[in-house]
Amino acid sequence: MTAPRKAAFAIPGDIETLTGGYIYEHRLLMGLRDQGRDAEHVQLPEGFPDADAAAMAQAIAQLQAVAPERVLILDGLVFGSIDSAGLAGVRAPVVAMIHHPLAMESGLDDARRQHLFTSERDNLRLARHVLVPSPHTRDLLVARYEVAPERITIARPGVDPPRHPAAPLSPPLILSVGILHPRKGHDVLIEALFRIRDLDWQAVIVGSPWDPAHAEALARQAERSGLGARLRLAGRVTTDELHRHYASASVFALATRYEGYGIVFDEALSYGLPIVSCATGAVPQTVPAEAGLLAPPEDSEAFADLLRRMIADDRQRQACARAARLAARRLPDWSQTAVAAGKVLDSLD
């Protein structure tokens, strides 16, 4: 029997970072090792996709040092922004891990958006294959970045079983999970919560301060809202604390402006939570229609209306919760994610 192809997974910064992308890559690395595969972790400098010259030079040197007998899986924050000439000098066959194109990020000016689009498009021409988490991201790469469909494999994120039994709080808890970054739409959620302040509820937003300035703006917005203790910005929490929040919640709400997938939706489904989110990016493909309600992005009034329905209408909420529990049974586990990626690695010569 042929041994699994050796691999190296290059990821910037701390692999323990609690974001969907980092969780995905950490679990994928562990899954590849569970196959008996020699898969080393290459820790690249922090700062991507806005790395300074020193970090860029260090990352290029690390990538070019990977032996050609290994397949190099390269995290999308780095892959889409690294110098193309430096990437062209990498000896190992490169597999890009693209969660969503960097040019789709929120809050970019036109020049930065165009630079990231051009950089990622050029670098995709240097990749032997591309791993993506969703059909949505695959279709974007084909349509906008001219990547041949046969060079793309969908490795859908896995989900773990619930750690705790459901124990909904009273008044009902509205839970939102996502880094404190403009793309996640927590500002829209806070405005929507203000619009339904006449209802009886409590809300928690869990997420690390990825964008410190935005995190401070959210804290000021929450204070100005007058919602007081009903709304809590919990910041970064442990994995067990996060799962306790899921178990305590009655509704999961994420007013996102864009998602290339959204692992948090699968986590919510695994706890049987009805979902309120936005019809943007991969969300309509990820959230089953029967399990959630989707508003247009950046529309706090529409989002508030859907939250009101989900909180005030017991029949609606219970129907969505039943659909969420059924959908959770069909979700893959992380070993299936690793199998999909491993087939790609073993197919490259």
Which three-class secondary structure state does DSSP give residue 276? Answer: strand
Q: pLDDT digit string (tens) for 21-64?
A: 899 999 999 999 999 999 999 999 999 999 999 999 999 999 99
pLDDT band at 308 (very low <50, low <70, confident <90, very high): very high
Fold: same for 7-158+332-347 and 173-328 = yes
Give the bridge partners for 206, in sequence order. Answer: 177, 235
The yes-or-no verdict on residue 288 having pLDDT over 60 is yes
Domain boundaries along the sequence of the chain: 7-158+332-347, 173-328
Torsion (CA) 219, 222, 228, 231 in degrees, nearest 10: -90
Q: Are 154 and 134 in contact, with CB atoms under 8 Å apart?
A: yes
The domain over range 7-158+332-347 is classified in CATH as 3.40.50.2000: yes
User: What integer is the mean pLDDT of 279-300?
Assistant: 97
What percentage of residues in the chain have a pLDDT greater than 90? 95
Q: What's the pLDDT tens digit per position in 333-346?
A: 999 999 999 999 99
Q: Would you tell me the crossing angle of helices 300-312 and 186-195 to the nearest 10 degrees?
A: 60
Distance of CA 105 to the CA centre of its chain: 12
CA atoms within 13 A on the CB side of 339: 6
Distance CA 7, CA 23 (A): 18
Where do we find the tokens 């998602």?
259
Strand partners, 293: 276
134 three-class SS: coil
User: What is the mean pLDDT of the segment spanning 223-237?
Assistant: 95
10, 75 contact by CB (below 8 A): yes
Give start and end residues of each alpha helix (H) in 6-80.
20-34, 53-64, 76-79
- Structure confidence at residue 39 (pLDDT): 97
pLDDT for 257 equals 97
Report pLDDT digits (tens) over 310-319. 999 999 999 9
Among the ranges given (14-18, 102-106, 184-188, 287-291), the one the predictor scored with the smallest mean pLDDT: 14-18
pLDDT above 80: residue 181: yes
Q: Is residue 1 pLDDT above 70, yes or no?
A: no
Report the CATH fold assignment for 173-328.
Rossmann fold (3.40.50)
| Of 206, 136, 213, 221, the residue nearest 182 (C-alpha) | 213
Q: What is the pLDDT of residues 124-140, one digit of tens each?
A: 999 999 999 999 999 99
Q: Check: CB of residue 20 under 8 Å from CB of residue 49.
A: no
Average pLDDT over the chain reads 95
Predicted TM-score of the model (pTM): 0.92
CB-based contact 286:275 (threshold 8 Å):
no
Return the amino acid letter for 121. R
